Amino acid sequence: MALLITSALAVGFDYAGETLALRLQTAALDLTTTVPAVTGARVLLADSTHDLIQVLQAALNATPSLPGGTTFAVTLSPLTGLVSIACSGDTFKMVGLASSTIGAVLGWTSAASPAAASFTAQIQPRYLCLLASRESAGWSQKTPMAAAETAGGVSYGTRSGVVRWEDTIAFGFIPSDPGYVASLAVIGTPWEPAPASLGTLGTHTGAWSVSDCLAVALGQTCALARGNFQAIVSSSSERYDLVAIAGSDLAAPRVAYQFGPVWPAYRRWTVTLIRQSTGTRA
């Protein structure tokens, strides 16, 4: 069953920064790249100073002693959800990429070696949920107030000056677990991780799930691409929403089988999001 990713939810986290060893093969240069720390980082759905994809690209291109004509591009494929690093002007390798924090976050589980013009991660990034189906009524305002009506139909009361925008969204066709991702050959983020990782949500290595992202979302600003994921991947002007996940939906997620117990391959997740503002990848 082919599913196109149309929406995404990125969870915020703090990245401590680190140094990466880089080998340019043709130039026979061993270089060191410094990736800066980022508070409130996200994957893909963030501006250029907070999106770890763009942060890594900028750091690679700012590598001291990088020869002229050699540049790097770090991108996420909208069709596979995998991150790639490509080098123009030389071949390269990064033997320690999988053991680095940023490499693991972006999906590397094995070394970027031997030297090649490009490398693609083995799994999808952490802190990012890729979703194929979305249903909702759209954002609606919520205003605290005390109001009533007289017998003659005249309303009265008092209202707060605070307005917040909420939407309750049902995300469907979420693969139940990594086993169904593989057997159905789909690319969406599964609802739960592999059985061995159920007790270490949000901290384990390997492929993450929606449940992992929820485990680390408390107190974090998240970003939502609601139906425009394909455009956002390559655009610096396409907008996403900055949101918080309702606390009740972090404590007890509303999830059910898409097709009941007859076919447990897919889940349907209903969640309330509170919009803070919007942003772009610029």
pTM: 0.92
CA-CA distance, 282 to 239, in Å (whole number)? Answer: 10
Look at residues 97, 115, 114 and name the one whose alpha carbon lies nearest to residue 106: 97
Q: How far is it, in rounded angstroms, from Cα 227 to Cα 209?
A: 20
* Sequence letter at residue 158: T
Q: Residue 236: helix, strand or coil by DSSP?
A: coil
Arithmetic mean of pLDDT, 82-93: 97
Burial class (CB in 10 A: 0-12, 13-18, 19+), 121: buried
Residue ranges of the domains in the chain?
8-127, 129-134+164-279
pLDDT of 1 over the 70 cut: no
**Mean pLDDT over each residue of the chain, to the nearest integer:** 95
Amino acid 262 reads: V
Higher pLDDT, 136 or 280: 280
Is-contact 40 50, C-beta < 8 A? yes
| 224-237 pLDDT tens trace | 999 999 999 999 99
Q: Is 4 helix (H, G, I), strand (E, B) or coil?
A: coil
User: DSSP characters for 48-98?
Assistant: TTTBHHHHHHHHHHT-TTPPTT-EEEEEE-TTT--EEEEEESS-EEETTTT
Task: Of 53, 29, 31, give the one whose Cα is nearest residue 43.
Answer: 53
Please give the single-letter amino acid code of residue 223: A
Distance CA(151)–CA(211), nearest Å, equals 50
pLDDT confidence band for 105 (50 / 70 / 90): very high
DSSP string, 147-207: EEE-TTS-EEEEE-S--EEEEEEEEEEEESSHHHHHHHT--SPPSS--GGGGGGTTT-SS-
pLDDT computed for residue 275 by the predictor: 96
Per-residue pLDDT of 111-126, as tens digits, reads 999 999 999 999 999 9
Q: What is the mean pLDDT of residues 181-202?
A: 96
Band (163; pLDDT cuts 50, 70, 90): confident
